[in-house]
Amino acid sequence: MPEPNPPIALLAELTHRCPLMCPYCSNPLELVQKQQELTTDTWTRVFREAADIGVLQLHLSGGEPASRRDIVELTAAAHAAGLYTNLITSGIGLTQARLAALVNAGLDHVQLSLQGARPEMADRIGGYKGGYDRKMRVAELVTDAGLPLTLNAVMHRQNLADLGQTLDLALSMGARRIEVACVQFHGWATRNRASLLPTESQVEQLKKDIAIARDTYRNRMAIDFVPPDYYSDFPKACMGGWGSTGLVVSPAGQVMPCHAADSIPGLAFESVADRHLGEIWRSSHAFNAYRGTDWLPQPCQSCERRDVDFGGCRCQAAALAADPGATDPVCRKSPYRPKVDAMIEDMTSRASASDLTYRKFG
Amino acid sequence: MTPYLLSGVRLHFDKVRNTNVLLAPERALMLDGVSYEILRRVDGIQSVVEIVEDLARAFDAPAEVIRGDVDAFLNDLKTQLLVGDRDA
Ligand code: SF4
Ligand code: SF4
């Protein structure tokens, strides 16, 4: 195995606790309990190790990272380690005083999730009454504090009609960027495919709307678009290639190549409690299992897109083809593609489509 | 134009890769020598004209040539919402 390049980004899932219960939450079905969470000292060491091996961007995430009582201390530790620090939050739990303390600690950027462009929708999807109003207030506090604000809007069958309203709202909230992220089917979202998977006509409309919106908002707000799962002809490159640019640390300290990697059977993850992050990055089984392109099967091996998408998503291959080492089943060249089409047909035609299974501790 | 880095956008020396980077929300741009020399002078006080003059002196090069490069580079960063203009 040649030495991998240094990683650029670390996603630190500080906790799985969260006041919200979004049915598309990417957290695993088996949530980590509070007692198993890493301590302040261990995270502080992990941030230093991350900076030492070349990580530049740190995403403090969860669950809700503000559910950690030491969030200000952790932010200060990340800043002291020299990392660019981004807080990925629902906003719940952020008061004016706490935000001021975070700014003081060196926080660089806030990414606020948006569960809907209208209070009824937002509070129903988040499963948290009054969440929308609190979020609007938090957005104000963030921009008043001089921090750049990105909104993250997860789009799905039930709210795609609100896209225009979502973009206008984002701009009026003072966002510099918005991520229009079509729901990704990992974790809890897999339980809600029949309610959340967009229809084909929605997807066609969405692509047109995004192209127009990019023009409309040019120089005022940047629009990042995460295209919907299952509909494209060729897969996305997962995290820019397995084990090539980023790593994820779970609340209990497991180091993973992507946030859904623990859904893949047969991978052995190592813990930051046992080894230096750099050693895990270089030599752990989970990172080397699908690194590079040597392991790829046919038709990928002789495909001209081999070095573009690296055979696609391993979690998707595990979930839909029952083989994490298979060509991404979404790919037109995969023998499983007809099964994916049948699944789309089935999921978008179910009657009970508005029932939601909310994320919760088991 | 008097350029400045928008909030949350900052220069950083990456000791692992031995290079300067521009850090921003969801972005890390690796900078070559020229880009770094331009950005190092972007402080919200010096105008583009002053930045170009300073670069021309420092690198003993004609200002007209440098002006083109600086404009193109800063305009690109403006459309990416990394740089703003105090005069706008
Ligand atoms: S997706 Fe919703 S439930 Fe999951 S962590 Fe984010 S805000 Fe909480
Ligand atoms: S065959 Fe493999 S490499 Fe080619 S497009 Fe499909 S997934 Fe990507």
Q: What is the pTM of this model?
A: 0.94
Query: Reduced to 3 states, what is the DSSP secondary structure of residue A220?
Result: coil
The yes-or-no verdict on residue A126 having pLDDT over 60 is: yes
Q: Using a CB–CB cutoff of 8 Å, tell me whether A177 touches chain B.
A: yes
pLDDT at residue number A194: 86
CB-based contact, B78 to chain A, within 8 Å:
yes
Rounded-to-integer distance, Cα A340 and Cα A312, Å? 15
Q: How far is the CA of A51 from the centre of ligand 1 (A)?
A: 27
Cβ of B10 within 8 Å of Cβ of A109? The answer is no
Indicate which of A112, A176, A226, A282 best probes the interface with B, i.e. most B CBs within 10 Å of its own CB: A176
Distance CA A263, CA A316 (A): 9
C-alpha to C-alpha distance for A312 and A290, rounded to whole angstroms: 11
The predicted-structure confidence for A33-79, as pLDDT tens digits, reads as follows: 999 999 999 999 999 999 999 999 999 999 999 999 999 999 999 99
Cβ-Cβ contacts under 8 Å between A and B: the total is 56
Interface residue B10 vs chain A (CB under 8 A): yes
pLDDT at A233 over 60: yes
Is the CB of A337 inside a 6 Å radius of any atom of ligand 2? Answer: no
ipTM of the complex: 0.94
Q: Which residues line ligand 1 (CB under 6 A)?
A: A 18, 20-22, 25, 27, 62-64, 90, 113, 359
For chain B positions 13-32, those within 8 Å of chain A (CB to CB) are: 14, 16-17, 21, 23, 25-26, 28
A74 is written with which tokens? Answer: 């952790």
Residues of B in contact with A82 (CB under 8 A): 12
Tokens 């994490």 found at:
A324
Q: Which of A88-92, A133-137, A355-359, B16-20 has the lowest mean pLDDT?
A: A355-359
Q: How confident is the model at residue A352 (pLDDT cuts 50, 70, 90)?
A: low
| Residue B51 clears pLDDT 90, i.e. is over it | yes
Q: What is the rounded average pLDDT for all residues in chain A?
A: 93
CB of B62 within 8 Å of any CB in chain A? Answer: no
pLDDT of residue B50: 97
Q: What would you report as the CA-atom Rg of chain B, rounded to the nearest whole angstrom? A: 13
| pLDDT over 80 (residue A286) | yes
Q: What share of chain B is helix, strand, coil (3-state, %, to 5)?
A: 40, 25, 35
In tens, the pLDDT along A144-181 reads 999 999 999 999 999 999 999 999 999 999 999 999 99
Q: Token pair for residue A328? A: 């991404």
Q: Is the pLDDT score of A264 beyond 70?
A: yes
